[in-house]
Structure 1
Amino acid sequence: MAKLCLPLLVIFLSLFSLSRTVEPAFSGHTARRSRARANIEAACRTTRYPDLCIHCLSTYVKPNMTIQSPQELAQVALTASLYRALYARAFVLKVARQINTLKRENQVVHDCLQQINDSVDQLSGAIKELRRLEKESVGDDLFWHISNVETWVGSALTDANTCVDALPGPNMSKLKATIKGKVLNVAQTTSNALALFHRFAKRYRAAGSATKKP
């Protein structure tokens, strides 16, 4: 019995020692994740779809990441919106090809595909423009970049909403209802991204107004 207890004691002590070693690192990751989550929840309160906003942004929070600044939040929100637009475009493109194969023209689907294509291009341009803002200080060039981002994200939102509005009514086919759901998700995430970008840009506009005062 003593021979059996000794190895068990060694294993127990080894596990106890390991748990004490791992616990601080795990706690640090948990604390960083909690801070990032708190920042996300606070920022998402300013959006039109806060629950969707929290879900999208939280997907990007890893144990070793801290998303804190309004610019980082806007960047992640735009990226999430772009991914959803790409996913919706792939689905609508597949449907459009099926329609062509079956020779059943459906102008609404093809128009929606064009609108989602435009949204993808505009969101891609907005993300690139936001990255350029990191190299700018307060000034006319900065505000020009900010205006570009707002214009492109706003246009992407308009295009997505146009597709959604073209698929109204409870009597639409299951296929069109699926398209509408996917594009509506693009519109909502883009709306949230625009709100978060406005939150980011607000501080620069305030700083710019202050420098222009006599």
Structure 2
Amino acid sequence: MAKASLIWLLLSILYIASTANCASTATRSSSRASNFIKASCSATTYPALCVQSLSLYASSINQSPRQLIQTALSVSLDKAQSTKTFVYKLTKFKGIKPREKAAIKDCFEEIDDTLDKLVKSVKELKSMGSSKGQDYQWHISNVQTWISAALTDENTCVDGFAGKALDGRVKNSITARFVHVERVTSNALALINKFGSKY
């Protein structure tokens, strides 16, 4: 009986030690991933936003530059998609001034173009697999071109609301959303520029 109790006690101690070791390893891994994200985001124009938007995905990013870039682009794509939905709803509102309506219509076209370029960029990154050297650089160059064009589209929408005649709630709500999309997209481009030359 005493022998069985001793074996049970030893097994319990081993289990607890093993569980604590796994938890400690997971904590270290999570801490390394968070530090990697923070260090990478320091190269962006909006580092606090970069850390905030990517930290949620620390476990999948781990310390992989490619996964970091892929995630940053996916965040941009998600924000652009929700902005497109918002702008589409605005096109259906009644009582909007004609000039506002025209600016909203232009913004809808711009965010649609942005989404198209971001989708292409995400697909390009996924399709390059384990490319290296010139092949890798060619894929990265395509992504950089599309994201730069997406940023131009986002800025064009905000420019369309210039002037006091369009001041008001519609302008403020659209501008806030487009600025957010522009910032996460700008961060994604900065991360691609940072890691694009390293492979």
TM more than 0.5: yes
Instruction: Give distance in 1, aligned partners of 2:110 and 2:70.
Output: 22
Q: Which stretches in structure 2 are left out of the alignment for 5+ residues?
A: 1-8
Q: Which stretches in structure 1 are left out of the alignment for 5+ residues?
A: 1-12, 205-214
Equivalence for 2:160: 166
Instruction: Give distance in 2, aligned partners of 1:103 and 1:191.
Output: 31
Instruction: Give distance in 1, aligned partners of 2:37 and 2:162.
Output: 33
Alignment partner of 1:120 out of 103, 107, 115: 115
Instruction: Give distance in 2, aligned partners of 1:112 and 1:166.
Output: 8
Alignment partner of 2:125 out of 101, 114, 130: 130
Instruction: Give distance in 2, aligned partners of 1:81 and 1:94.
Output: 20
Is the 2:110–2:154 contact (alpha carbons within 8 Å) kept by the matching residues of 1?
yes
Q: Pairwise CA RMSD of aligned residues? A: 2.3
Instruction: Please identify, of 106-115 and 21-30, the stretch whose mean Cα deviation from structure 2 is larger.
Output: 21-30
Instruction: Give distance in 2, aligned partners of 1:169 and 1:19.
Output: 66
Equivalence for 1:150: 144
Is the 1:41–1:54 contact (alpha carbons within 8 Å) kept by the matching residues of 2?
yes
Residue identity (%): 38
TM-score normalized by structure 2? Answer: 0.84
Instruction: Give distance in 1, aligned partners of 2:138 and 2:47.
Output: 29
Q: How does 1:57-206 map to 2 (within 5 A)?
A: 57-62=54-59, 65-99=60-94, 102=95, 104-105=97-98, 106-139=101-134, 141-168=135-162, 172-204=167-199
Equivalence for 2:6: none
TM-score normalized by structure 1? Answer: 0.78
- Map Cα deviations across residues 181-210 of structure 1 (whole Å, 9 max, x no partner): 011100000000000001121113xxxxxx
